[in-house]
Structure 1
């Protein structure tokens, strides 16, 4: 049955999401250039700037995960709203058909027996024929009562669908407002970080980049690789996800992106496991609970390594004491030691 709503064209949702990510990246860059340049504090070394920028990146990553969660909720609400609107359209068509049918029955009843039955029987020249007609009218009357009740039920269902659609629309508007706030938060932190980097001389920027790399390797020092099992992937799906993650190495970080050419940290996990036929939740916090938790010593390639107490970063263990992850803005998907930062949990997707 035809719906009263216009359906979306195939691919439009994906294309719109890709365009949105691209627009947000451009907006973040524009914000960095348009805002007055932040300066490193007097006496602040590239190492100090690296620490400040690293903190900003962590804060931006946490805000990005919140943005991703709000975006996932908005997508779900839009799908629910579309379904409710379709239900309401079908319900309205059903109500209209019932009303038309009842109108036809009422007209037939009026034309065939529009006055007192006793008087009609007394005046009838053919009582037997009249009684046959009266019985038919009685059946019509009973059918009409049944259809009236069905009409009432259809109208109640229609009102319910409309009420639910209104509630979904109101919630969607609230989530959209949250998305805008998260977007401003991420863009502000990234712009501040970029302005700090831009305030450095070319030589200091080079030292700054090496400091960030040193911070990662320094975090991993002392990590005992003998704790790792050295076993292969737990399943064929895990192996496929590892292959996809490895293929993404070198792709740029872009917040809010799930590929195919740019990624944020949780987006890379979603994209990699999608290639294995597994649908992961969108955010690292949700990915924390997306499977069985295993001890780090039992980690296998394909397991998700969730970092920090707030679970704001995630990488994929690929064996050999390494993860593949999308580190932070300005960096590319790369290999790093599994112990590069505090580990919250290791999750093995189902």
Structure 2
């Protein structure tokens, strides 16, 4: 792609940031620094309506914090759900092993019972005693061989019975541990769900208190912040360094993600009708044939890190100091992402939010 074309596309992305409220830091769980913005527990009195840019900036900071906290809780919810799914699958697998183990144990007990019955029918004498009482040397030798085989078989049977019983005991112990972990994750999911709803409700209540003109002005402030951040990022000359080309899987992931544009954000959602930020990226890469972690924090922890200048379409851009948001780089300085509650999947500038780093699913 020529430098002139790249420049035009980069400019177009900047303009997108300037004209759409869907492409702003406040729409993607911004994380204010320590001491910035009011606390999550304090909201403006119902009788007071913010007036002026200074008050609206405080509202924007408050909304950023509420949605950021909701994003943190969403990551916790998604992580607990993923663990619960794995634990449920493990419990099912252990249950199948227990059923097979019990069937095997029943068979072994039948074999042991048959051996005991055979010994009873021979008068209860051990094979060694019957051999000593034999007058036929050949019969003695043949019997000795059979006795040795019988002893080995008996020892093998006893050993198999013991191992099967031990396996069953371990399966039961593992299943019990998995049940405890599953219950713990169910509680974690419930706590995260309550926190998400609380933060989103507080944000919606705060926005509902604004008059129409104030909402429009708030949107303009958000647009200005997005434009400023993206322009600063582009002015660094970074786009001249980013020349990576997408892999085949990366192109497929980008195609999937961009096909979801316009679909609503919903926390905990993985499609096909709604998505949260990491639900979109994980499903896009799953569609490309490459499974990746479910949450943005685990994507940051587990996937290969690459320099921003080396990123290519399909790579994931992780945002904010605690990795609570993620978008997919699609080229020419832009990402596709699911911003936050009340927004839809959209394209925005890759530099419109604070970048923590970039990871590559198919490294």
- What's the TM-score, normalizing by structure 2? 0.78
How far apart are 1:278 and its partner, in Å?
A: 1.2
Q: Deviations over 1:302-327 (max 9, x none)?
A: 11111111111111111121111111
CA distance in 1, matches of 2:200, 2:68: 10
Tell me whether 1:145 sits opposite 2:155 in the alignment.
yes
Residue 186 of structure 1 corresponds to 196
CA distance in 1, matches of 2:349, 2:129: 99
1:265 to 264, 267, 277: 277
Tell me whether 1:238 sits opposite 2:265 in the alignment.
no
Task: Give yes or no for contact 2:49–2:209 (8 Å, CA) kept in 1.
Answer: no
Task: Give yes or no for contact 1:290–1:349 (8 Å, CA) kept in 2.
Answer: no
How far apart are 1:174 and its partner, in Å?
A: 0.8
The 1:192–1:95 alpha-carbon spacing in structure 2 relative to 1, beyond 3 Å, is same
Structure 2 unaligned spans of 5+: 1-42
Tell me whether 1:219 sits opposite 2:264 in the alignment.
no
CA distance in 1, matches of 2:302, 2:152: 56
The 1:233–1:243 alpha-carbon spacing in structure 2 relative to 1, beyond 3 Å, is farther
With CA pairs under 8 Å and 6+ residues apart, which has the higher RCO, 1 or 2?
A: 2
- What's the TM-score, normalizing by structure 1? 0.80
Tell me whether 1:94 sits opposite 2:104 in the alignment.
yes
Cα RMSD between the aligned structures? Answer: 2.8
How far apart are 1:55 and its partner, in Å?
A: 1.3
1:69 to 72, 79, 82: 79
Task: Give yes or no for contact 2:244–2:310 (8 Å, CA) kept in 1.
Answer: no
Tell me whether 1:284 sits opposite 2:296 in the alignment.
yes
- Residues 202-213 of structure 1 aligned to structure 2 (within 5 Å): 202-213=212-223
CA distance in 1, matches of 2:113, 2:332: 77
Residue 32 of structure 2 corresponds to none
Residue 44 of structure 1 corresponds to 50
How far apart are 1:288 and its partner, in Å?
A: 1.4
Residue 115 of structure 2 corresponds to 105
Residue 11 of structure 1 corresponds to none
How far apart are 1:115 and its partner, in Å?
A: 4.7
CA distance in 2, matches of 1:103, 1:83: 30
Give the 4+ runs in structure 1 shifted more than 4 A: 37-41, 115-122, 126-139
CA distance in 1, matches of 2:218, 2:127: 100
Name the SS of the counterpart of 2:289 in structure 1.
coil
CA distance in 2, matches of 1:300, 1:142: 64
Tell me whether 1:311 sits opposite 2:323 in the alignment.
yes
Task: Give yes or no for contact 1:63–1:185 (8 Å, CA) kept in 2.
Answer: yes
How far apart are 1:294 and its partner, in Å?
A: 2.3
Task: Give yes or no for contact 2:253–2:285 (8 Å, CA) kept in 1.
Answer: yes
CA distance in 2, matches of 1:55, 1:172: 31
- Residues 45-60 of structure 1 aligned to structure 2 (within 5 Å): 45=51, 46-60=56-70
The 1:335–1:118 alpha-carbon spacing in structure 2 relative to 1, beyond 3 Å, is closer
Residue 338 of structure 2 corresponds to 326
